[in-house]
Amino acid sequence: MTGTLYGVGVGPGDPELLTLKAVRILQSVPVVAYPATPQGSAQARDIAAAWLEGKREIPITMPCMLDRGPVNAGYDAAAIRIAEELDAGRDVAILCEGDPLFYGSFSYLLHRLGERFPCVVIPGINSVNAAAAAAALPLMTGEQRLTVIPATAGDDALRQALLNSDSVAILKPGRHRPRLLELLRETGRAEDTLYIEQASRPAQQIIRRFADIPATPGPYFALFLVIRAGSSD
Per residue in 151-197, pLDDT (tens digit) is 999 999 999 999 999 999 999 999 999 999 999 999 999 999 999 99
Residue after which a domain boundary falls, among 122, 144, 174: 122
Name the percent of the chain in helix, strand, coil, to the closest 5.
40, 20, 40
**64 domain-assigned:** yes
Domain span including residue 42: 5-122
pLDDT score recorded for residue 52: 97
* Average pLDDT, integer, range 54-68: 81
Q: Which of 122, 141, 171 is the last residue of a domain?
A: 122
Instruction: Give the dihedral sign, CA 125/127/132/138.
Output: negative
In a domain, 142, yes or no: yes
| Residue 46 and residue 144 share a domain | no
pTM for the model stands at: 0.91
Give the pLDDT confidence score for residue 40 in this predicted structure. Answer: 85
How far is Cα 135 from Cα 142, in angstroms, rounded to an integer? 20
DSSP 98: B
* pLDDT tens for each residue of 189-198: 999 999 999 9
Higher pLDDT, 139 or 68: 139
**Is 117 found in the same domain as 148?**
no
Instruction: Provide the pLDDT for residue 230.
Output: 59
Distance CA 191, CA 209 (A): 8
Contact 1, 116 (CB under 8 A): no
Among 122, 139, 154, residue at a domain's last position: 122
190 in the same domain as 143? yes
| Residue 233 is assigned to a structural domain of this protein | no
Is the same domain home to 95 and 131?
no
Number of structural domains the chain divides into? 2
**Same domain, residue pair 153 and 83:** no
Do 215 and 107 share a domain, yes or no?
no
What digits encode the pLDDT tens for the residues 32-44?
999 998 888 899 9
